[in-house]
Structures are given as C-alpha cells and as structure tokens.
Structure 1
C-alpha cells in the first residue's frame, strides 16, 4: 500500500518545498490504475488544479474537481482516478504537531461556540472561498520561481492558512476538528486502529500512523487490546467479513477486499478456520 507522502519525496518526480515536516507539492498524478489504496502518516490539504479524483472513506465518497479542495486526515483511503484530463493538485502535508502549535498561540480567536466538538469523517470537504483561492494561487506562484522561497516564509504561509480557517465562518467542520485535535496530545490508538483495520498496512505502518515507535506501539497495543496487533487485525477483519456476508450483496471478492484481505486462498482458509465454512457456504447457510 502506497504512502503518498513517502512516494512523492522518494520519487523526486515533482516540484516540492519542505520545511521540517511541512511539505508543499505541485503534483501530477502518474498512476494509471482506476482505483488505488493510499495512506499518509501526516494530514494533507489537496487543492485541485485540473482534472477530477474521488476519495472514498468508510463513511462516504468525495469527488473534487478544479478549484475545489479537501482536508484529509492522516490515515488510509481509496482513491478513484478519472482520465478525461490529467489530475493536477497542490498538496500540503501538515503534521498534528504544527496544528497544535498554531492553536496554542492563537487560541483567543476561538469562541466558546466554536469549541463544540463535532465528529467528522476522515476526509473533510474544504469550502474554497475567495480568500482561500487567493491563498492557494499565491503558493503556486512560488513553484514558478527560479529559487525556492525562504523556509520561514513557507511556515508563515501555512500558519496563514490555518488562521484563515479558524477565524472565518466557513469550514466549521474542519475548524472544530482542529480544536478537537488541539485538546489531545497523543494519537488515540483504539480509534486509529478501528478506523483503518480494513487497509493492508504493515505493523510498522500502523505504528507510524499511531505516532509511535514499533516497540512502544506493540507495548501500548497489548495494554489497549490485550492481544498482539496481528491477532487483533485477523479477528477484526474476519468479523467484518462475516458482517458483510450477512448484511450486503457484495461478491466474495468484494467482501475480501473491503475486509483487508488481499489473497483469496488465505481469506477462505482463515474464514473457514474461524467459522467452520467457506465464505460462500457461510452465506448460503444464512439464506436458508
């Protein structure tokens, strides 16, 4: 499964600016697949410059076109490609720590009403008003310059974006998510794992997503779930596959993919070991 931020940095195929963990990218999609699973260990803004792409989460689907934007929380999603025209996007990768830092220094702009927490999806549509559109266009102009801008200028530009979102009446869901993020200092492991168990991430990837070293991830996981990550993931994926077989009309291959299994024979054997029948036979028995 591709970590989109790592791919951008390691491929060196795109125009980028970096300051600490902030990454600014002028991105042209080179992927030829209709559907791809991607993940990122940092949050990111996506401002579309051309073409279309759809982000799919557990809760919904978000199609964005030129002039539109999204905020994507760190984690995994499925994206769908449209080939009518090239997909061009300005990506800005931003860690939780930077958001918290800005909130801590500018908390006075938040009213009590705005501090009401709202549960949001892992993808939040961005309302791009005239102010935000001008902001993104100003960032794009730096990529056309012969020299990279000063790093401190990029840091200030990122702070400007967050302050625009926090101080304006639009983008209330994103504003409230930022406030919620600022109120906690450690990644919630249980919430992160329950949100992403269907994606075929490695144990090392899950540790990174939970902002922990591999050893501390294993230790905290044992404390939280009283089992190992591998055992928990297998049980969780099998339980979800059984739920889909009982409550949906999805094919066996779709159930396998949606549950986080990528090998058909492995899925069938694991399901039969757990429930006594193959997935196909199990579904048939439920309909009798």
Structure 2
C-alpha cells in the first residue's frame, strides 16, 4: 500500500517534481511505463490533472478514468489506481494534495457561493471535470511552475487553488460540485449487502473489494460469509453468471462486451467459467435466443 502524499516526500524519483508548501504538496508526476494496479491510501484530498496518458481510479463507489486535459477531485481515503501510457509512451499528471485547513479557509472566504441547500444523498468519493477550453488553459498555466523547482511558493499556490475552485463553482449551475464539497467529510452509511449488489460486476478481485472496504482479506471473507452464507468467490461467480445469462438472452451485445459488463476482463476465462457452469459456450447459448 502506498501512502500519499507522504510517498512523494520520501521517494527519490528523478522524474517527479515536488513542491511542498506548509501542509500542502504539489507534484508533477512522470512515468514512462504502465503501472500495475496499486493500493493507495490518500491522506489528503487530491485534485489530479491529466496531461498525457490515462489513469484508472477504483473507489468504494465505482470506477473512472482520467484522460488528457481532464481533472478529478478525490476525497481522502482508499483507492486502487492504474496508469496507462498512450502513443506518447509517457504518463504525466499534476497532483494537488490539499489539507483540510486550506479547504476550510476557502469555505469561510467564499461562503456566499454555498447557499444552495446541501443534499442528504450519498455522494461518490470523487468528482470528475471533463475537458473544456478553460480547464485546458488552466492546466497549461501550471506547467511553467515546474520548470524551476523553486518558483511555486505557498501564497501563489493558494491563489492558483482558489482560482481553480472558483472557476468550478461559478460554472456549476446544477450545484453538483457544491454538494460534493459540502459533503466532503460526511460519513456515508455502509451496508455490505447493498455494496456488493451494486458493485459485483466491477472488474475487481476479492482482495480489491476487501481493500476498498478497509478490511483485511480474512476479515472481509468472514463478514461476507456471515452476510451471504457463501464465500465471496462462489457468490461473485454466481451473480456474474446470472447477469451474463440474462444479457445473453435479452441484449444484442456480443460475448466479449457481455464479459466486460459482468466483470470478466479476460474473454477466454469468461468462456471457460460459463461453459463449466452451463455446459454450453456463451456464444451457442446466445444463439438459442436469436
């Protein structure tokens, strides 16, 4: 498990440029190789900006991908991440790690923009910002501060951070981002049964489900069996095949698409599991309903 931003303060990665300012950290992240799925313990809120390549984020609530010229605001907590390089053979992003005091000061200074009633609904662990001309211009405006490691100081960082949030908020006409900010430190109610029924089709291993729930693998299996009277492996296999059977009967998606929809990234593995359970390949099973 990698604890960040502490990781960037202690590692000696020549390609990364790290600015530390009081309780906040800003990093220009450079990677030439794709990374395997990593376990991340995020101890501060994070705003990540995509510059090159793409990055996968897996949270307790769902999965998302950060592309070039997009941004994502992650609540502190547990995540799984994977970095992918594209044709440039490089993954690059800018990371803003933000302490609670900086956010609290922002709330106090700009309270008039948060008059919209907060919602009682459970909100996700992240908020995504798609590519827009304003966001692209903002990301490009940050790059010169990494050409000289001593240029970005604390007062300037606070100004750039406030500029970013104000742009997001003033263009947030449906109040989604305002609700996300207001609920940052809210403890969502948790129910293992509800969580698994909402997330069993995600391409996650049992170890990943345990990690995102903040449990050891043994604790997760123990709690799971108390809840479902089945091991996680048997329950996941049954639910995924049940969903696959339904999709093969009712949808016009091909077998590869259905495999992905029910959490199988490897098509040949999905075919083997399906055939061992139903004594027929998914393709031939689908043909019976066409």
> Could you state the TM-score of these two structures normalised by the residue count of structure 1?
0.61
Higher helix share: 1
Q: How does 1:271-282 map to 2 (within 5 A)?
A: 271-282=274-285
Check whether the contact 2:210–2:216 (CA below 8 A) recurs between aligned residues: yes
Extract unaligned runs of 5+ from structure 2: none
Check whether the contact 1:26–1:143 (CA below 8 A) recurs between aligned residues: no
Aligned counterparts of 1:116 and 1:26: Cα–Cα separation in 2? 36
Equivalence for 2:117: 113
Q: Which has the larger radius of gyration?
A: 2
Aligned counterparts of 2:182 and 2:270: Cα–Cα separation in 1? 41
Any idea what SS the aligned residue of 2:49 has? strand
Equivalence for 1:257: 260
RMSD between aligned alpha carbons? Answer: 5.5
CA offset at residue 279 of structure 1?
0.9
Q: Which of 231, 234, 238 lines up with 1:235 in the alignment?
A: 238
Deviations 1:155-207 (A, max 9, x none): x959x669946994334323323434533256654565455434443333222
Greater CA drift, 138-147 or 22-31:
138-147
Matched, 1:244 2:234: no
Deviations 1:88-146 (A, max 9, x none): 3213467xxx6699569958944352446486696622688979976995697367326
Matched, 1:144 2:148: yes
Aligned counterparts of 2:30 and 2:162: Cα–Cα separation in 1? 23
Any idea what SS the aligned residue of 2:253 has? coil
Any idea what SS the aligned residue of 2:115 has? coil
Check whether the contact 1:188–1:210 (CA below 8 A) recurs between aligned residues: no
Aligned counterparts of 1:244 and 1:3: Cα–Cα separation in 2? 38
Check whether the contact 2:33–2:90 (CA below 8 A) recurs between aligned residues: no
Check whether the contact 1:71–1:126 (CA below 8 A) recurs between aligned residues: no
Aligned counterparts of 1:116 and 1:142: Cα–Cα separation in 2? 40
> Could you state the TM-score of these two structures normalised by the residue count of structure 2?
0.61
CA offset at residue 209 of structure 1?
1.1
Check whether the contact 2:57–2:64 (CA below 8 A) recurs between aligned residues: yes
Check whether the contact 2:122–2:188 (CA below 8 A) recurs between aligned residues: no
Extract unaligned runs of 5+ from structure 1: none
Check whether the contact 1:17–1:148 (CA below 8 A) recurs between aligned residues: yes
CA offset at residue 283 of structure 1?
0.5
Equivalence for 1:124: 128
